[in-house]
Structure 1
Amino acid sequence: MDLDGKVLFITGAARGLGAETARRAHARGARVALVGRTLATLQVLADELGSGAAAFEADVTSAENLRRAADDAIATFGGIDVIVANAGIAPPSHTVATIAPDAFEHTVEVDLLGQWRTVRAALPSVLERRGHVLLVGSIYAFFNGVLAAPYAVSKAGVEQLARALRVELAPHGVTAGIAYLGFIDTDLANDAFADEAAAAVRRAVPGIFTKEMTVGAAADAVLDAIERRAARVSAPGWVRPLLAMRSLTTSVMDDVLLHNRGVQAAITRAETAARQTDS
């Protein structure tokens, strides 16, 4: 798919990966519908990019908001060729036993159901234009989600959504894929690992797996996948072999975390801190 002249509908476009994907897509000649919760921030990016960029306010927890944003994008650009379902949040670093139910469910609401709502809202136009759907996933689709269970649950669900879409859309000439991305140097990752318990879990894993890649490298991986209409793309380079050996690597990873004293201590600290907050 040549991106020149194509319309990309990008959620979570105000900052981080979404904003950088928009910048680089626009540089390749694409027109970009910037979708997010804060219109003023999106408008700054739209003004920066100039012609071929427009901002649309929508919260991915609202199907109505997303339908309106998709309709407005179609009215502005004439249609949508590519969906980039990118909006996401990180949960607090708590265990399943101590996380506030609302926090767990809100993470799933944004990170999984938000992607489903994004696809559903913009899909009619993508079907008409035989376009592509790209879901932004994560290594947490197969990494152990200790102290980040709702995020891992969501990304595992996103993986299954992408697989189903790939098959269901094929008869219509539409393709779909998922990006398995490692840690990216964004506010989302930095905020998550600012918590000492999360940082302890990170230290228990070999550094190659937690080293952050630049947001530019992640955005290039996403756009290259769209241009190839790829079923899957991964970045950085070490993710691909782990995906290929996931039945082995996931069981080894679980065992390592299960017997790591630092991780067990981090879990205890996280639970103690959560209980003290509740009291």
Structure 2
Amino acid sequence: MMDPGRFSGKVALVTGAGTGIGAAVSRRLVAEGAAVVLCGRREAPLRELAAELGDRAAVVAGDAAESADARAAVAEAVDRFGGLDVVVANAGGHRPGTALETGDDDWHYTLRINLDTAFVTVREALPRLMERRGSVVVVSSIAGLFAGPGVAGYVTTKHALIGLTRSLARDYGRHGVRVNAVCPGWVRTPMADEEMDALGEMHGIDREAAYALATKDVPLRRAAESDEIAAVVTFLASGDASAMTGSVVVADCGATCVDLPTLAFEPPHPEVAP
């Protein structure tokens, strides 16, 4: 349930804020009283979102993996809104490929967009977060817990984000900073839509049928919505999760509770509409 005052007086920085989970998190933070600095490489969607959110949203277009750009985003939070309480390290992406299919450029790109963006942004924000006993939420993936096919770089970097989360939690908890990670499964975002279109092309089906195929063995039989992941992220960022740090929270519609070797034993049953 939305709490309009939960982040009253708080300031957040969200990377990868222009679309998908980042945009949904930013909307929810503002709806619950926060001011938000929207950070991303593509300025147009950031500006569009800021216009929607009003005077409690600021835009810093840049690369979260660049120290100067991350510092500029932190400075905007402090100069415009008076401080920094929350960082949501959400920026990410991938280039598909097994190890043999992944060249040096693709490997370095995936490291940079998933791992460096989180590390650099949080590193630059930590002095301000320590001042206000703030919190960090790192957006990883169930690919940080298990391996999907043909995405060696993505799986590796999403696993690394969990290590980063735990390291930060251990080192900075004594300074009052909490750091937790969220591991979504399939979420309806522009990036997932592209992957579903590719899956659909493989099987001769449309996007909705591809989502159904990709989630047919997921207990809830569906992908999550961005707003559902935003609810988990904002909970972890809030005082409601004050005893949680170093936690890895899975939000995957049940995907990772399935014991894959037992799927062959599942009896036929009629599908129930979600």
| Residue 238, structure 1, aligned to residue 254, structure 2 | yes
Shift in Å, 1:110: 0.8
Match of 1:24 among 23, 28, 37: 28
Give the equivalent residue in structure 2 for 1:268. none
Give the equivalent residue in structure 1 for 2:86. 82
Confirm or deny: 8 A CA contact 2:37 2:60 kept in the other structure. Answer: yes
Using the size of structure 2 for normalisation, the TM-score is 0.81
| SS class of match (1:195) | helix
Alignment partners' CA distance in 1, 2:116 and 2:122: 10
Alignment partners' CA distance in 2, 1:239 and 1:211: 10
| Amino acid in the other structure paired with 2:69 | N
| SS class of match (2:37) | strand
| Amino acid in the other structure paired with 2:39 | V
Shift in Å, 1:205: 7.8
1:1-279 matches, within 5 Å, as 2-92=6-96, 94-196=97-199, 207-208=217-218, 211-227=222-238, 228-229=241-242, 230=244, 231-238=247-254, 241=257
Alignment partners' CA distance in 2, 1:216 and 1:59: 24
Shift in Å, 1:61: 2.9
Give the equivalent residue in structure 2 for 1:246. none
List per-residue Cα deviations over 1:31-77 (Å, max 9, x = no partner).
11111112232122111111211111121231221112211221111
Pair 169,239 (structure 1): closer, same or farther in 2 beyond 3 Å:
farther
Task: Name the structure with the higher helix share.
Answer: 1
Pair 28,199 (structure 1): closer, same or farther in 2 beyond 3 Å:
farther
Confirm or deny: 8 A CA contact 1:56 1:73 kept in the other structure. Answer: no
| Amino acid in the other structure paired with 1:234 | V
Alignment partners' CA distance in 1, 2:140 and 2:202: 21
| SS class of match (1:34) | strand
| Amino acid in the other structure paired with 2:32 | R
| Amino acid in the other structure paired with 2:249 | V
Identity among equivalent positions (%) equals 32
Pair 199,23 (structure 1): closer, same or farther in 2 beyond 3 Å:
farther
Alignment partners' CA distance in 1, 2:214 and 2:78: 47
List per-residue Cα deviations over 1:192-214 (Å, max 9, x = no partner).
333349978x9688531783111
Which stretches in structure 2 are left out of the alignment for 5+ residues?
204-210, 264-274
Confirm or deny: 8 A CA contact 2:182 2:249 kept in the other structure. Answer: yes
Using the size of structure 1 for normalisation, the TM-score is 0.80
| Amino acid in the other structure paired with 2:218 | I
Alignment partners' CA distance in 2, 1:119 and 1:204: 33
Confirm or deny: 8 A CA contact 1:192 1:198 kept in the other structure. Answer: no
Which stretches in structure 1 are left out of the alignment for 5+ residues?
243-248, 257-279
Pair 204,183 (structure 1): closer, same or farther in 2 beyond 3 Å:
closer
Pair 193,149 (structure 1): closer, same or farther in 2 beyond 3 Å:
farther
Alignment partners' CA distance in 2, 1:220 and 1:199: 33
RMSD between aligned residues: 2.6
Aligned length: 246
List per-residue Cα deviations over 1:101-149 (Å, max 9, x = no partner).
2112201111011110110111111110000011001100112132111
Alignment partners' CA distance in 1, 2:88 and 2:256: 21
